[in-house]
Amino acid sequence: MLQQFDSAILEAVGRASKRSSAVVHEQMREGLCGLATIGSLAPWVGIFGTIMGIVTSFEGFSGPKWNIAAAIFEGLSRAMWFTALGLVVGLVAMWSFEYLKEELSGLDQEMENASLELLNQLSRFPGRFEVGSASEQRGDGPIFGERPLDDLRGEDKLLRRCLFLAAVALPLAWLAQASRYFVGYSLFSIEAIRAAFVTVPIMFGLSYLPAYPLWRKVFSRRRGALVALAAIICLFWSVAELVLSRDLP
């Protein structure tokens, strides 16, 4: 029977609590850097798409001047959509980042308070715990947030599969958009390719919005699953626009 918890035992418990809190913190902050990156880059990608759309709007036309002006203004108005979408994606991503960052800070504070409360309880009630054998203390499962090697290998395998799936889905989405611009808008091949290079990143960024809840609820924040879900949604979106021959919101 332990008569008193000495400082070494309390320090060991404190270190174990801090380690478990750090593991939970790292698991919860996955995806925050991605949101910050999207929020920073989305407006610039939208501006780049608008610039490319403005460049393609001033092409050679023939006919009455009102028809030429109508064609130019139609191209300019279509080009401004890229900036609008980039701003929407950037604002939503930054708002989500700040909200989740505050929630994570609150969770860190709660874990720290729980660790301090545990140490206080251990120091207040000495002599009520028995020290068992080494096998009883160790148990069958991992301790202090450690994970089995098989779980880590399985997670790495899932990450590689998700990245491979995203690497396949994004080029297919780009091909569908290029085909839509070439067939539906009668653009030249170079112009269709250039327009697809601008459209697909914006659609990929917007696809993170519906993919994020699925990633949290269905895939339990598994690494790489968010990118794969966003790429699949972007592919389905591009194929739907190609089949319907129209822009989907």
pTM value is: 0.52
Q: In percent, how much of the chain has pLDDT > 90? A: 7
Query: Residues 182-218: pLDDT tens digits?
Result: 887 766 677 778 788 878 888 888 888 888 888 878 8
Q: How many residues does the chain have?
A: 249
Q: Residue 229 in contact with residue 165, Cβ under 8 Å?
A: no
> 147 by DSSP, 3-state: which?
coil
Provide the residue ranges of all domains of the chain, joining segments of one domain with +.
1-126, 150-244
CA distance 219 to 239: 25
Surface-to-core class of residue 206, CB atoms within 10 Å of its CB (0-12 exposed, 13-18 middle, 19+ buried): buried
